[in-house]
Amino acid sequence: MPTLALVYLAPMKSLTRQQLERRKAQAVRFTRDVRGDDDRAAEIEDEALEDYAQDRHIKLNNPKGARKMAVQTRRELLDRINELESENEDLQSRLDEISDIIGDNDDNEDTGEDTDNEDTGEDTDNEEEEEENDQGEE
């Protein structure tokens, strides 16, 4: 008759990064000092903390060493909102100025006017005289 073996799987122990680092350092000291196995102690020391935890069935509470962000107060948040709104208004006014400049140039291009070389009207007078001369010669 086959024998049944019952395996009890204990839940993983959960430690913080700092606690696991202390435990790993303790394992290195024990292996080096008590067991006298310098090579194995060096292996443990060189092993990544995540791998060390996985090999020993330990769950890291903060695996990436994440830190909690500082919580801002309501006053700090309101001040930041006011600061951003003010900056937004400044930027919007700059965009309006740019839009006005571009809008003026677009209007001049549509009507054929050139703001860089303004006509004094002399060319149109000369053209009219040439047309009169051309008609008089015919």
3 state DSSP class of 135: helix
pTM of the model: 0.40
Distance CA 82, CA 74 (A): 12
Mean pLDDT in runs of 10 for the chain (138 residues)?
62 84 94 93 91 87 66 91 97 95 71 51 53 53
Distance CA 46, CA 56 (A): 15
pLDDT computed for residue 127 by the predictor: 54
| Residues 6 or more apart in contact with residue 37 via CB below 8 angstroms | 31
